[in-house]
Structure formats: C-alpha cells, structure tokens
Amino acid sequence: MTKQPAHIVVAGGGHVGLYTAHRLQRRLARELRRGDVRITVISPDPYMTYQPFLPEAAAGSLSPRHVVVPLRRVLPRCRFLAGEVTAVDTGARTVHVRTPVGEDADAEPLRVSYDELVLAPGSISRTLPVPGLADHGIGFKGVEEAIGLRNHVLEQLDIASSTRDSAVRDAALTFVFVGGGYAGVEALAELQDMGRFACRYYHNIRPEELTWILVEATGRILPEGGEQMGTYALRELRGRNVDVRLSTRLESCENRTAVLSDGSRHPTRTLVWTTGVRAHPVLASCGVPLDDRGRVRCTPALRVRDVDHVWSAGDAAAVPDLTRDGRALCAPNAQHAVRQARRLADNITATLRGKPPTHYRHRAVGSVASLGLHKGVARIRGRHVKGLPAWLIHRAYHLGRVPTFNRKVRVLAEWTLAGLFRREIVSLGSLEHPRAEFELAAGTGRPPERT
Ligand SMILES: Cc1cc2nc3c(=O)[nH]c(=O)nc-3n(C[C@H](O)[C@H](O)[C@H](O)COP(=O)(O)OP(=O)(O)OC[C@H]3O[C@@H](n4cnc5c(N)ncnc54)[C@H](O)[C@@H]3O)c2cc1C
C-alpha cells in the first residue's frame, strides 16, 4: 500500500499563516517534491494584509494593492483553499470549511483532514455594548476598512463644502477616534495630515475648521511603546490641535452624536473604533483549550496544550513570554506573530523528522509609530527618537518587514513617487456601489446615500 503524504493544514492567511506556510515550503522542499508532504492554506481572502501599512493606505501614501500580499503567488508549493474554517474535530482530525459557494448557512461544510494543524485566524475588533456603536462605528483592521475610511473622510469634506446647514457642516468636519493604541493614533495622525492637505482644494474649508478628537479610557496613549513615547506622541498630537481626552470613555453615539463620559457631546458623522482586539470567535468551535480572553492555550513550543497535532501562534494564541518573569504572555503584535510563525514552521518540520521542537523566545527591541508624513516616534533598545528620524526608522523597519522582495520594491517605488508628486485626494467611495449607475439607468435603483 502506498503511504499517504502527511497533510499540514494552515487555517488563516495573515501574518502567521503566510510566514508559516512560506517557511514550511522552503524547509520541506525535498518532501514536497517527493510527494511525502502536502500543505494547504485555508483563508477567506486570497491575500495577506500587512496591517502596519493600513494607516498609510488610509492617508493615500500607499495604494491598497501594495499593502496586501497575494497568497497564491507567494506560496506556489502550497494549495490555497478560499474559505472560512467554521469548526475543528480534533478527534477525527478534520477541519470544517465554509467555501464561498457554500455561503448558504444550511450548506454542508467541506471537511478537510489533517495530520498537523496550524490555527491562525488572528483577532477581531474588541467592541463594547455602547449604544449606537454597532450602527455607526467604523473599524480599522482590514484594507477594506482603511480605504472605506479614507473615502468617507474625503466625502465629509465634500458634504461640508456643499451644504448650507451649519449643523450638518460641523458634524461632517468632526472626526472622533476611540482608542489610543497604535491603530487609533496612527490612523488619526495620518488622516488628519491628509485632511489638512486636502483643504487646499476646497474653496470654503480651512484646515482649522476640522475637529479631531481622540478618546482614550486610560491615562496615556501608545501604551505599547512605554511612557516617554506616549508622552511625546500626546504633546505632538495636542500641538497639532488634536483634542486628546484621556481617562474618558465613549458613552453612546446615537443620532450622529458622540457622548463622552466627561459630559461633552460631539455631533459627528465619523466615529472610528480602535480599542484593541480579541481572539477570533471561531476558536470556541475548534475543540481547543482557551484562556479567559478566548485565546488558544499554547506551550512555549507553540503546541496547543493537551491536544495532539494542533499548533497556534499570533493574535489567536496565548503564548508564554519566556523573556519575562512569571506568567506573562506575548503581546498580540506583528513582531511576535512573524517570529512565532518561523519557530512554528521549524517545530513542525522537526516533529515530522522525529526531532524535538524548540521553545519560542523573543525579546522585543523596540517599537515605532508614524504620526503622519515626516513625523513619528520610536523606541529602539531603550532610546527614544522622534520627528523625522523616527519616521524614517518607521519606514525603513516596515520596508524590511513587509513580505517578498517584489512587494518591497513596489512600496519603495510608490514612496519615491509620492515624494516627487503631491498626494492624491480623490474619494472613490462610489467603488463600493459599482452597480448604482447602471441600476439608475435601468430605472431599478436610486443613488446610494452618503453616510
Ligand atoms: C491598523 C493596525 C496596525 C498595526 N500595526 C502594527 C505595528 O505597527 N506593529 C506590530 O507589531 N503590529 C501591528 N499590528 C498588529 C498586527 O498586525 C497583528 O498582531 C498581526 O497581524 C497578527 O497576526 P495573525 O496572523 O495572528 O493575524 P492576522 O494577520 O489578522 O491574520 C488572520 C488571518 O486569518 C484569516 N481568518 C479569519 N477567520 C478565519 C477562519 N474562520 N478561517 C480561516 N481563516 C480565517 C483572516 O482572513 C486573516 O487572513 C497592527 C494591527 C492593526 C489592525
């Protein structure tokens, strides 16, 4: 009887999924050629999103197609299956997958068997039961949201420019961001930069008329970067007239009004919610042990505790941080996700070859954040850098990190061109309704409402 090839299934095509599969196809090149191993990557989207570039994509410094990496092209020796893992049967070693044709909830899921499984569905935005949030909030996790937000901000300028109603105008020119972590601070800073620049093309809007509010529940921003970095970023934002409200919460956002816990009320048409992430809810159906925050409990070797042949890493996983004392866990960030993915691929390779896996250990060297064009903050090996040097470090770091040489060249070329020409400030919000024009012509539709 011929021996079946060992089947490695990677659930998720983000940082962990892409880097794990990429490393596996190199490490196991011989076995793949011989047909001893198969690798399948399952993810709803055929691309990985390099999330640290989303703020720049929102500001128009990078085009959307350059912040995503096509999985099929980068993983030529893996099979890609477009679909969502909906459950895992760890006893039968099968994953249930809902494919795009089977979107009908009653459709029978595809069953894919595995010998080794990598669970890497990442995280989703952490929301709270704030009245009005589900109806009006805008998230900032995917490329669709970043581009949607860019179009939305530019549309607000169009609305403000063309209305005679001062209340509508004020609400259109007020932008509220909730959450002072990296995503919120970088998105706000980049969009404020873009908004101020765009004003020069509007005959009746001055940059000072735009109100930018950052609401943060704790007493500081950028907690990931340490106190000094947060203090500098706070000073920089306030110096640019951003109204940063610390130790403040969003109470409600009904009827286009953001009500804050300090008693203030802000009529607004833009409410961006970036208060952190929680592990992907699909993990609850995967038959694996979860911690109190819904993350998969992992050993330092990235195996799932008490479940054979299942591994995990990244935002979905609770991985002990061996560089710190006690019961500390690795933070959910790309620095860890990428390094864990490499360790995970090496450990699966070792296991298939009958060798013991190695523990994951990584000491972060620092963090960087962009605060708009030519402005940034960074902490490298305990030293703080700010302004243009920090912004250059930010760009150099992420250029080095974004996967594939091809993508690096594209990003560099785009940055270089952007340095020679002015940035684009056109809103392509109509792309979200590609059939609207034809439906109007056919007499079956009406123009989409602006949000
Ligand atoms: C705006 C923003 C900026 C950031 N900036 C930084 C930064 O500057 N530095 C830093 O270190 N970190 C940053 N991060 C965090 C970093 O991007 C994440 O920690 C990292 O992406 C986690 O990797 P992951 O593979 O666990 O998850 P992801 O990269 O999110 O990948 C998860 C993948 O799983 C797929 N998936 C979801 N559900 C299923 C399912 N049911 N079945 C199959 N596949 C599924 C998703 O489509 C996705 O492809 C940022 C995050 C955001 C949102």
Considering only CA atoms, which of 368, 386, 371 is closest in space to residue 188? Answer: 371
Q: Which of 282, 333, 362, 379 maximizes ligand 1 atoms within 8 Å of its Cβ, making it the mutation to test the pocket?
A: 333
| CA-to-CA separations, 209 to 161, 205, 392, 398, 425, in angstroms, rounded | 12, 7, 30, 33, 18
Q: Is residue 52 scored above 90 in pLDDT?
A: yes
pTM over cut 0.85:
yes
As given in the structure block, the two tokens for residue 268 are: 């607004």
SS3 track for 105-127: CCCCCEEEECCEEEECCCEEECC
pLDDT, average across residues 52-81:
93
pLDDT digits (tens, 9 = 90+) for 251-279: 999 999 999 999 999 999 999 999 988 99
Measured CA to CA, the distance from residue 68 to residue 72 in angstroms comes to: 12
Helices (H), 100-179: 133-136, 143-162, 166-172
> For the segment 138-182, what is each residue's pLDDT rounded down to a tens digit?
999 999 999 999 999 999 999 999 999 999 999 999 999 999 999
Q: Which residues are within 8 A (CB) of 76 and not within 5 positions of it... i.e. 6 or more apart?
A: 25
Task: Indicate which atom in ligand 1 lies nearest the CA of residue 11.
Answer: 43
Task: Using the atom order of ligand 1, give the atom closest to the CA of residue 42.
Answer: 43
Where are any strands of DSSP class E within 317-451?
Answer: 317-318, 366-370, 376-380, 383-386
pLDDT band, residue 216 (cuts 50/70/90): very high
Percent of the chain past pLDDT 90, that is, above it, reads: 74
More confident residue, 9 or 419: 9
Q: What is the mean pLDDT of the chain?
A: 91
329 Cα–ligand 1 center, Å? 17
Ligand 1 site: residues with CB under 6 angstroms? 11-17, 42-45, 51-52, 54, 84-85, 120-122, 140-141, 182-183, 280, 282, 314-316, 332-335, 337
What's the N-to-C CA distance of the chain in angstroms?
63
DSSP 269: S
The structure tokens listed for 279 are: 């592990």
Query: Which tokens go with 167?
Result: 């209340």
Reply yes or no on whether the pLDDT at 449 is more than 70. Answer: no
Q: Is the pLDDT of residue 225 over 90?
A: no
Kindly give the number of the ligand 1 atom that is closest to the alpha carbon of 15.
25
What letter would DSSP give residue 61? S
- In whole angstroms, give the CA distance from residue 122 to residue 142: 12
Residue 450 has pLDDT above 60, yes or no: no
Angle at Cα 117 formed by Cα 111 and Cα 120, nearest 5°?
100
- Whole-number pLDDT of residue 93: 97
Q: Which two tokens stand for residue 191?
A: 């969009």
Pick the range with the lowest mean pLDDT from 122-136, 162-176, 320-334: 320-334
Distance 52 CA to ligand 1 centre (A): 10
pLDDT digits (tens, 9 = 90+) for 15-50: 999 999 999 999 999 999 999 999 999 999 999 999
Average pLDDT of span 56-63:
90
* Helix, strand, coil tally for the chain in percent (to 5): 40, 25, 35
Mutating to test ligand 1, I would choose from 40, 147, 182 the residue with most ligand atoms within 8 A of its C-beta, which is: 182
pLDDT at 124 over 90: yes
332 Cα–ligand 1 center, Å: 9
Taking the centre of ligand 1 as the mean of its atom positions, its distance from the CA of residue 123, in whole angstroms, is 6
pLDDT exceeds cutoff 70 at 106: no
